[in-house]
A = this chain, B = another copy of it.
Amino acid sequence: MSSARQEVVVKGEFPMHRGGALIDPTIAFETWGELDAARGNAVLIFTGLSPSAHAASCAVDPTPGWWEEIVGPGRPIDTRRHFVICVNSLGSCFGSTGPASVNPLTGDIYRLDFPTLSLEDVARGGYEVLKFLGVDRLRALVGPSMGGMTALAFELLFPGLAESLMLMSTGPRALPFSIALRSLQREMIRRDPGWQDGNYPRDTVPLTGMRLARKLGMITYRSAEEWRQRFGRERVSAEHAGGDPFGIAFSVESYLEHHANKFIGQFDPNCYLYLSRASDLFDVADHGGSVEAGLARIRSERILVVGVVTDFLYPMHQQHELVDGLSGGGREVEFVELDSLQGHDSFLVDMDSYRPVIASFFA
């Protein structure tokens, strides 16, 4: 299958936000649409923890992207009008340099020698892509989930570059409940003997740890009410359960198993650990002394905050904190509270609710 992935190599030393440096890191990205003559129609999208830069299909790569219904010709982020850029996070494993990449200084895979990753570094990766593309202002900066925190980091590192900002299911800092969940996911991977302190062979990953971590992810990305309506107490057929007294018996267990199996071969475990910890470490307060002071420094003039009542990773009070902190200073801040059932993942699946909200912001 052909790929629409492009890459920029950032030549020289790339100093990391919390110390250390990378040499000649690569940032992978994809683009849709054309940059107009005034160079004024660019939109930059940062992703959640696990997606690649393939947000939408295109002629070169017709496979559906992770935001297929949002990005494209005639879609809410209309690629006939906008030049849309999506970057693969620094630290990830879909083209950008990360812990699974080779360290050019040693010729070995970085693994745990990769320096501490911060979302500020991910944001700067996006900035390097803009420089490479000759984009010096953004009509809009878009970030769902971890991508929203990355977008906030971008705003604080490169003030005034984005005219507008769309934050979805995100928050100004990681709180202890989500830190605890991510910490446990990391521990599941790290305690899998197959992890080998990060030194698993390239073609053999700690599958058990990744499977458990992904299942916990799925549980925290969706909502209890969605599953109550969708699965109830429905059982799987007896054949699936087998003779194992603790085998899969309920449909919800089968659903988790199916999704975990899809994920575990795709994502590098060390990259997962670094991006997960980077989310824990993020705090707008690091840029100004408090969340309020940090948010007050953001320069985008139009801001949309979208939160979901069933999202317990980035709960509604964090949406209010964003809205309150961003309001004032001449900024026009819109807040949309959605009652989608699908929890944190709603921005990926409840397209009927998101489509009009995003379309209206970009109209």
Contacts and interface: CB of A to CB of B under 8 A. Distances in A.
Interface of A: 112, 116, 173-181, 183-184, 186-188, 190-191, 193, 208, 211-212, 215-216, 219, 223-224, 227-228, 230-233, 245-246, 249-253, 256, 273, 277, 280, 283, 312, 315
Nearest to A115: B245
Given A112-B245, A180-B215, A180-B219, 10 more contacts: A173-B233, A175-B228, A176-B230, A176-B252, A180-B252, A184-B216, A186-B246, A188-B188, A191-B212, A224-B315
Given A191-B208, A193-B193, A212-B191, A246 B277 contact: yes
Nearest to A273: B246
Contact of A176 (B175, B181, B193, B250): B250
A179 B253 contact: yes
B312 A180 contact: no
B179 A252 contact: yes
A322 to B, nearest CB: 16
B283 A233 contact: yes
- Per CB-CB distance, the 10 closest pairs between chain A and chain B, nearest first, are A177-B224, A176-B252, A176-B227, A176-B231, A183-B253, A191-B208, A180-B252, A184-B215, A179-B250, A177-B227
11 contacts: A176-B251, A177-B223, A177-B252, A180-B219, A184-B215, A184-B216, A191-B211, A224-B312, A224-B315, A233-B283, A312-B312
- Number of chain copies forming the complex: 2
A280 B234 CA distance: 12
The secondary-structure label for the interface of chain A is helix
A273 B249 CA distance: 14
A245 B315 contact: no
Nearest to A114: B245
A82 to B, nearest CB: 36
Contact of A183 (B179, B250, B273, B315): B250
Nearest to A189: B246
A175 B277 contact: no
Nearest to A253: B183
A175 B227 contact: yes
A245 B118 CA distance: 13
A253 B180 contact: yes
A116 B243 CA distance: 12
A231 B219 CA distance: 23
Contact of A245 (B230, B256, B277): B277
A184 B175 CA distance: 23
Nearest to A193: B193
B212 A256 contact: no
Question: Which of A208, A223, A251 has the most chain B CB atoms inside 10 A of its CB?
Answer: A208
A212 B188 contact: yes
A345 to B, nearest CB: 14
A22 to B, nearest CB: 15
A273 B244 CA distance: 12
B215 A187 contact: yes
Contacts of A223: 177
Contacts of A191: 208, 211-212
